[in-house]
Amino acid sequence: MLNKRTNVKRLWFFLFKPHTTMKNGGGFQLILSFKNAENNENVVFKQDGQRFGTSQRTLKLFSNAKYKIHITAKPGGDFHNLHCGGSDLELIPDAPDSGEYTALWNTTGIDPNKKGERQDLLFVLSGPAGSLRKQLQTKFYNRGDSHAEWGHKLEQLIWSCAVDATGTITVVDEQSL
């Protein structure tokens, strides 16, 4: 009889067909984009350097707005749940077995941040093969505040991920386009 660790590892290889170039088992990429649902514009980010602990990059978002989150797993993977900023979101597959998903996120109830403040936003993506928990460094602005639109357009966040035998998915590298 196979133990739980072996079963998780086999399930991972079956679902993700991981790259063999990553150490400690399989690896894959997650490609994320965040767009304003009203005008389909990409969100912007600001380079903050080492000023804040979570990231060198701050995503700029509006309070009381809706965003489309698009996720692509390469190679394709099976995810069922997305939790972002305190909300459980419906993860809609773009096509069966494509590894591409879209979710709609409503930021109503998230207060704008004060000047010089950042907010760590919990992002959790999970499915049969494992779970990813990552903090995103964000700043929320009042709707209509033009400061939320100043910065670099974020076309994509690209996360290179690894999974361990227990199904914990870890981001080992992050790039933005």
Number of domains in the chain: 1
Reported as a pLDDT band with limits 50, 70 and 90, residue 25 is low
3-state secondary structure 17-70: CCCCCCCCCCEEEEEEEEEECCCCCECEEEECCCCCCCCCEEEEEECCCEEEEE
pLDDT tens per residue across span 86-103 = 999 999 999 988 999 999
Spatial CA neighbour of 163 closest among 53, 5, 3: 5
The mean predicted confidence, pLDDT, of the chain is 87
- What whole-number distance in Å separates Cα of residue 49 and Cα of residue 116? 13
Mean pLDDT of 127-147: 94
Tell me the C-alpha to C-alpha distance, in Å, between residue 101 and each of 32, 84, 119, 158: 10, 14, 25, 15
d(CA 32, CA 29) in angstroms, rounded, equals: 10
| pLDDT of 16 above 50 | no
Confidence bin at 132 (pLDDT 50/70/90):
very high
For position 70, what pLDDT does the model report?
98
Q: What is the pLDDT of residue 6?
A: 43
Res 79 pLDDT > 80? yes
% of the chain surpassing 70 pLDDT? 86
Q: Domain containing 133: what range?
A: 4-176
- Say yes or no to pLDDT of 19 above 60: no
Tokens 């995103």: give the residue. Answer: 136
Q: What is the mean pLDDT of residues 27-36?
A: 97
Average pLDDT of the residues in 134-139: 97
Compare 162 and 21 and report the one with higher pLDDT.
162
Q: Is residue 59 scored above 70 in pLDDT?
A: yes
8 vs 82 pLDDT, higher one: 82
φ, ψ (nearest 5 deg) of residue 120: -80, 125
